[in-house]
Amino acid sequence: MHRFILLAVTALVLTTATSALALDGAALVGKWQLQEPARDSAGKPCPFVGERIEFTSDGKMVSANMPVPFLYKVNPEKSDAAGAVARYPELKGMELMLAAMGGAKVDWSKAPIVYGVELKGTKLTMKVSGYTPAQYKKQK
């Protein structure tokens, strides 16, 4: 009986630890204001991080600098994440968010935009390969 309880507790701890590593997509939903822009080595701003970004609960990322709302996906499948990191190795070890234009049928393994992200409360960091991290603050 003790073995069963120990096994159950271990499974619960591992599940909780794995869940803690996943990006909280629900906490991402809302409007975000840029605090620190992303720049390349020449100081030019990144076109994929706007002054304001809104993440909707239906999986759209809306920004004035984007021609249309982009679809986004947090916590991509392992194979999609591995492909993204292979293309952008500097994002290895970060939580990933994939973004693409298009309809509901997106091949996430080929997502053209890959962000390394970190979400801590009302602060969001978005990193695009080749640029410094952009810092956002959630708006009320």
What is each CA distance from 138 to 35, 45, 88, 132, in whole angstroms? Answer: 10, 21, 27, 20
77-134 pLDDT, tens digit each:
999 999 999 999 999 999 999 999 877 688 898 888 999 999 999 999 999 999 999 9
Does residue 3 surpass a pLDDT of 70? no
For the chain, domains (ranges, CATH) are: 23-138 (2.40.128)
Q: How confident is the model at residue 21 (pLDDT cuts 50, 70, 90)?
A: low
User: Beta strand 95-100 with 52-55: parallel, antiparallel or unpaired?
Assistant: unpaired
Structure tokens at 64: 């004035």
